[in-house]
């Protein structure tokens, strides 16, 4: 068994993980979720503090702690691995920063826009289609879950988050896995495969679903997250 600390992406809400939480808890695991700061002045230090606070408030545990980072969470989750006894860091459709790189610079540095445009064209959506939240993110999410997400509303992540250089000199010394949705229209699979290899020296683990796999394919995602703890259980 394990405790999974689930870090949301740009949406910043713990609700993003609710379907995965149900799956993991049904299998006997513990989960920790958190809402991330929404103030415009909040940046990477405040995000890291919120993650650490949520884990510490959950109390001590004997099972391994696995930190899971969705999308933009790839910038903040690695910062807590030196502050918490993390046994593993799992990236999910995530952004991978380089030392000194800001989240604002990441898009141009990686060529994300070109990759998205080429993927959209290959799908028959045309070159560089206008971003549409439902089409790019919620295309494979069940309608009732999509409508609940929109009814809850949401806000863009704090502007300060995109201007702060990633402060670590190197990726944290913790085992890291990279899960990537095959149908992700925002960060296409081959684009992410290149990012994982070039920036982390890792191969991605393909999973079903798009960018919001936690909402669209929670059972499949829980299966892949469980692979973190299966070798320990078998030992």
Q: Which residues on neighbouring strands pair with residue 229, listed in sequence order?
A: none
Q: Are the C-beta atoms of residues 66 and 88 closer than 8 Å to each other?
A: yes
Host H or E run for residue 143: helix 143-152
For the whole model, what pTM was predicted?
A: 0.95
Exposure string for 85-121, b = 16+ CB within 10 A, e = fewer: ebbbbbbbbbbbbbeebbbebbeeebebeebbbbbbe
Window from 31-40, 86-95, 104-113, 221-230 with minimum mean pLDDT: 221-230
Q: For residues 49 and 69, what is the distance between their CA atoms, to the nearest angstrom?
A: 15
- Residue 190 region, left (φ>0) first, then alpha (ψ -120 to 50), else beta? alpha
**Average of per-residue pLDDT across 29-43:** 96
In the numeric block, which tokens belong to residue 166? 């990633």
CATH of 3-234, one of 3.90.1300.10, 3.40.50.1820, 3.60.20.10, 3.40.50.970: 3.40.50.1820
pLDDT at 234: 45
pLDDT at 153: 85
pLDDT at 114: 97
The residue ranges of every structural domain in the chain are: 3-234
Q: Is the pLDDT of residue 137 over 70?
A: yes
Q: Which residues on neighbouring strands pair with residue 116, listed in sequence order?
A: none
């Amino acid at each position: 068994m394990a405790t999974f600390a689930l870090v949301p992406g740009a949406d910043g809400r713990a609700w993003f993980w609710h379907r995965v939480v149900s799956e993991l808890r049904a299998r006997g695991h513990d989960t920790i979720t958190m809402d991330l700061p929404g103030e415009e002045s909040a940046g990477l230090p405040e995000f890291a503090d919120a993650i650490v606070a949520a884990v510490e408030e959950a109390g001590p545990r004997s099972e391994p702690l696995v930190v899971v980072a969705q999308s933009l969470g790839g910038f903040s989750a690695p910062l807590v691995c030196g502050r918490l006894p993390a046994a593993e860091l799992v990236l999910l459709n995530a952004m991978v920063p380089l030392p000194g790189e800001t989240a604002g610079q990441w898009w141009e540095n990686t060529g994300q826009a070109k990759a998205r445009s080429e993927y959209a064209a290959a799908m028959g959506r045309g070159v560089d289609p206008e971003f549409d939240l439902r089409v790019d993110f919620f295309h494979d999410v069940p309608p009732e879950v999509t409508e609940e997400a929109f009814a809850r509303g949401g806000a863009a992540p704090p502007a300060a988050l995109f201007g702060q250089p990633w402060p670590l000199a190197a990726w944290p010394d913790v085992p890291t896995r990279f899960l990537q949705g095959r149908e992700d229209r925002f960060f296409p699979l081959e684009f992410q495969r290149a990012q994982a290899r070039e920036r982390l020296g890792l191969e991605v683990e393909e999973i079903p679903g798009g960018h919001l796999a936690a909402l669209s394919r929670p059972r499949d995602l829980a299966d892949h997250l469980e692979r973190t703890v299966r070798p320990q259980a078998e030992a």
